[in-house]
Amino acid sequence: MTATMHEFRHSAFVAIEDIQLQSALEGATHKFGTGRTDALAEVPEVEAMRDHFKKVRAATLSQLAHHLETFEKNATAAGTQVHWAATGDDACRIVLDIAQKHGVKLVTKSKSMATEEIHLNQVLSKAGIEPVETDLGEWIIQLAGDPPSHIIAPAIHKTRHQIAEMFTKETGQQVSADDIPGLTELARQVLRQKFLAAGMGISGGNIMVAETGSLVLVMNEGNGRLVTSTPPVHVAVVGLEKLAPTWDDAAVWLSLLARSSTGQALTIYTNIITGPARPTDPDGPQEVHIVILDNGRSKLIGTKYEEVLQCIRCGACLNACPVYREAGGHAYGNPYSGPIGAVIAPLLFGLDKYSGLPHASSLCGACKDVCPARIDLPRMLLELRADEVEQRVLPWWESMSERAAAFGLANPGLFKYGTAVMRQLQRPLAKGDKLNLPGKLNPGQSRKTPALAKRSFHDIWQSGELDNKNGGE
């Protein structure tokens, strides 16, 4: 998958023309956005809490190797098997090895962006292992064969009618699109059988807590609890930056995570997993594995992009982003959409492949405003654009016209002459204060291009008519 400028535009255009999708996007992002505002308003001194959280995240990243080693030591002591994956392929191979060692044929999964990132489902399917997504939204997009279009609401782009149709096709049972509880119940029946039959459960992870070697998982549907406790083996794939040194740090993290993402004070379920089932436990997995995923993250440490690793994947920036709210998630060409996706996809997966994403922003700054860690995403988009110029990712004609324009603007004589020539050239096209450009030549498409004014402010000033004595007041 890629997202060049052309690809982003094309995919965004399809989304913009889709009236149903537009109304779903606007509705959901608005609901999440206001939910976030209201939920944070309940916390006394929430701004101070965000400042504190930012400090915690920055301090953690500055000593990440140390904290990861502490986590590994404590998790191992609790009986968890810790694996290190340098790349997505490595992570997939580790998970596949574990599955094959146990002769697993069916895997249940709870929602995980990290496994979307490494395309784990495709790898498992190819090896003859059936992965079943059990988060309702994830199951829907798995049936549809779609990538997620929102970090926390992956099926935001699907209507209930489309969902009813897919469920009927999958189960052979008729279900009405107007019967939402019926749809949910049907999914529940199917998935319950999968939970009981699965040989392995795969999850992501929201927080790794170093001081006890625990993994924290948050969810609202409870499916993750079945994924991580019913099958004999549980494997979690977690990005290496999702680390809290202490439970105090994790507590602040949790306070901000649910409020920022869904507007809840806390998600319905918060799971804390510290090793496999003890001999006295009535249930729980015999083995717990945590695959710590690098996949391009560690190379950002110590660079101008390190701050982006403070992200806790709450999705608040998507809901606030006016570009995401029109373009939807698929235009970003990778599982991470919105402003955070526009920054991390080029950094993790290649600036050349995702060259459109640094430009998929008006730099309005709404993302930075809502980020629980106050990550300066607009600044990083600007840095990526500068990297594109430096690495010559931009087309030559664009670089040439930018440089020519800058040269002209740096030379007042040339600027005056150039704009005078343009005033002459535009005469046949100018209509009032707009240019009447034929459709394909109009850079703004349906948006009218402004004409140069008859006289520039420079001319007006120089003419002396603005002098006080001439009525310039």
Partner 1 sequence: MNLPKRVALLVTCTVDQLMPEVGVSTVKLLRRAGYEVDFPMEQTCCGQPFFNSGFRDEARHLAKRTIAAFAKYDAVVLPSGSCTTMIRQEYLHLFEDEPDWQEHARRLADKTFELSEFLVHQAKWDPPQPTESRTITYHDSCHMNRMLGVKEEPRQCLEAAGCTIDEMAESERCCGFGGLFCVRMPEVSNAMTNEKLRQAEDTHAPTLVTSDPGCLMQMRGLVDGKPFKVEHLATVLEEMTR
Binding site for partner 1 (CB under 8 A): 5, 8-9, 12-13, 16, 322-323, 325-327, 358-366, 368-369, 382, 384-390, 394, 399, 402-403, 405-406, 409-410, 412, 415, 419, 433-434, 443-453, 455-462, 466, 468, 472-473
3 state SS of 267: coil
Q: Which of 271, 303, 242, 280 is nearest to 71 (CA)?
A: 242
Q: Which of 141, 101, 150 is nearest to 121 (CA)?
A: 141
H-helix segments, 274-411? 316-320, 324-327, 338-349, 366-370, 377-390, 396-409
Q: Rounded to the nearest whole angstrom, what is the least distance from the CB of residue 462 to partner 1 in the complex?
A: 7
Q: Which is nearer to partner 1, 286 or 462 (CB)?
A: 462
Q: Which is nearer to partner 1, 63 or 362 (CB)?
A: 362
Q: Rounded to the nearest whole angstrom, what is the least distance from the CB of residue 121 to partner 1 in the complex?
A: 30
Q: Rounded to the nearest whole angstrom, what is the least distance from the CB of residue 61 to partner 1 in the complex?
A: 21
Q: Which is nearer to partner 1, 146 or 459 (CB)?
A: 459
Q: Rounded to the nearest whole angstrom, what is the least distance from the CB of residue 139 to partner 1 in the complex?
A: 30
Q: Which is nearer to partner 1, 139 or 354 (CB)?
A: 354
Q: Rounded to the nearest whole angstrom, what is the least distance from the CB of residue 23 to partner 1 in the complex?
A: 12
Query: Can you tell me the distance from the alpha carbon of 407 to that of 419, in angstroms, rounded to the nearest whole number?
Result: 13
Q: Rounded to the nearest whole angstrom, what is the least distance from the CB of residue 383 to partner 1 in the complex?
A: 8
Phi, psi at 420, each rounded to 5°: -65, -40
H-helix segments, 63-159? 64-77, 88-101, 113-117, 120-126, 136-144
Q: Which is nearer to partner 1, 169 or 447 (CB)?
A: 447
Query: Can you tell me the distance from the alpha carbon of 437 to that of 448, in angstroms, rounded to the nearest whole number?
Result: 8
Neighbouring C-beta atoms of residue 265, cutoff 10 Å? 11
User: Contact, 234 vs 200, CB < 8 A?
Assistant: yes
Q: Which is nearer to partner 1, 287 or 388 (CB)?
A: 388
Q: Rounded to the nearest whole angstrom, what is the least distance from the CB of residue 334 to partner 1 in the complex?
A: 18
Q: Which is nearer to partner 1, 28 or 273 (CB)?
A: 28
User: Contact, 259 vs 36, CB < 8 A?
Assistant: yes
Q: Which residue has the tokens 């023309």?
A: 17
Phi, psi at 164, each rounded to 5°: -60, -40
Tell me which amino acid residue 435 is. L
